[in-house]
Structure 1
Amino acid sequence: MMDERLESLIYLLQRNAIADPRVLAAMRDIPRDFFIEAANLKPLAYADEALPIECGQTISQPYIVAYMTERLNVQRKHDVLEIGTGSGYQTAILSRLARHVYTIEIHEELHRLAVGRFKALGLDNITALCGDGSKGWPEHRLFDRILVTAGVSAAPPDLVGQLGPCGAMVIPLGKTSSQRIALVARAETRVDYQSLIPVRFVPLL
């Protein structure tokens, strides 16, 4: 039954122009229901909708996970910084594509649950911290890709500053009622912004 629901979801993603075979393969490989604790919500794991999780947060709609991942264009050689681990589902998807994923979550409970899930699934290319993600990774370093899974009015300067040469960041920008996904790309001495689709994310804390 789950296979049927998963294949229906993959078909829906393809119908909605998610075309990268690596992203689709990652969505197939990572069991979304494993990242949902509430038993009454597990049957909805493969519906294309956001669902509530602990600490008043959400696990993002699968289409948005796939869309943001595809726009980030993660390659196997890349180190990725994720701001907002949440349930860990998006982190796990990224781990299938990147060399290593560094992820920060401000809520201790979410951090603890996500780390347990990573271990249970054998995802050994993830380093997870509990802390303030708006400041970026605590140790000064550059990342090939950055993904932010919470909304902000403007891209935090500390995150932009951790973009490496030719680096890219996908981030929801704007007020909660009028957010849009933005692609932030570093090109030599400048940083370019491209506005993409409208979304609604919880605010970055």
Structure 2
Amino acid sequence: MKDDFKHKGMRKKLVDTLIRKGIRDKAVLEAINTVPRHLFMDSGFVSHAYVDKAFPIAADQTISQPYTVARQTELLEVKRGNKILEIGTGSGYQTAVLLEMGAVVYSIERQNELFKKSRLFLSKLGYRPKKLIFGDGYVGYKEEAPYDRIIVTAGAPFVPKDLLAQLGVGGKLVIPVGTDVQVMTVFTRKGPKEFEKKEYGEYRFVPLLEDKN
């Protein structure tokens, strides 16, 4: 598992691309510049690791486009020490970005293959989420609620009420909502029953899977 000067140079170019595309949060850019994305991808895709594109991973899922990861993280407005619930661990790349920013991360993955793979891999790289959960992202993880931030890394046809309920007052939920095309949506909890909603353009995500058991 190498991370050499060549990879670091490629990451720097990726960061320059993200800046050109409008990413401004310095902590987000620093995390992208630090996390070795190529190690989260199958070996056949390593040469594409620092191109601003999504790529397939196991279980018919994808590792999100770096711009999408950066934009979602920027909208999350992460502060060091924030307690974050991530819905969709996937490859673990977004998890690593959040950990790199000093967040306390709880992450849920619905696909058992990805859950096992990312759990082993994150640990091997020295990234330690507070807890990785194999389960249904639609219901969140109420055992540790409320959360300062919740991020959904798959397309949701609707906004799960359980996730809104698990958000602390002042907290933010960043979620792509829609079926074929998703609208990046941010909910900020203003009070026990009051939420502010803002939308930030269209994206394409793999669908958020429901627990069918």
Measured against the shorter chain, the TM-score band is over 0.9
- Equivalent position of 1:7 in the other structure: 12
- Equivalent position of 2:32 in the other structure: 27
Counterpart of 1:87 (choices 74, 91, 104) is 91
Gaps of 5+ in 2: 1-5
Moved over 4 A (4+): none
Distance of 1:153 and 1:127 partners within structure 2: 26
Does the 8 A contact of 2:142 with 2:166 survive in 1? Answer: no
- Equivalent position of 2:123 in the other structure: 119
Question: SS at 2:205's partner residue?
Answer: coil
Deviation at 1:138, TM superposition (A): 4.7
Aligned pairs for 1:1-205 (under 5 A) are 1-37=6-42, 39-139=43-143, 141-176=145-180, 178-188=181-191, 189-205=193-209
Distance of 1:128 and 1:140 partners within structure 2: 12
> Cα–Cα, structure 1 residues 114 and 60, in superposed 2: closer, same or farther, change >3 Å?
same
Gaps of 5+ in 1: none
TM-score (norm 2): 0.92
Deviation at 1:171, TM superposition (A): 0.4
Superposition CA RMSD, Å: 1.2
Question: SS at 1:47's partner residue?
Answer: coil
Does the 8 A contact of 1:80 with 1:98 survive in 2? Answer: no
Alignment identity in percent?
41
Please tell me the residue identity of whatever aligns with 1:81: L
> What per-residue deviation string (whole Å, max 9, x for no partner) do you get for residues 31-86 of structure 1?
0011112x211110000000000000000000000000011001013100000000
Distance of 1:165 and 1:3 partners within structure 2: 39
TM-score (norm 1): 0.95
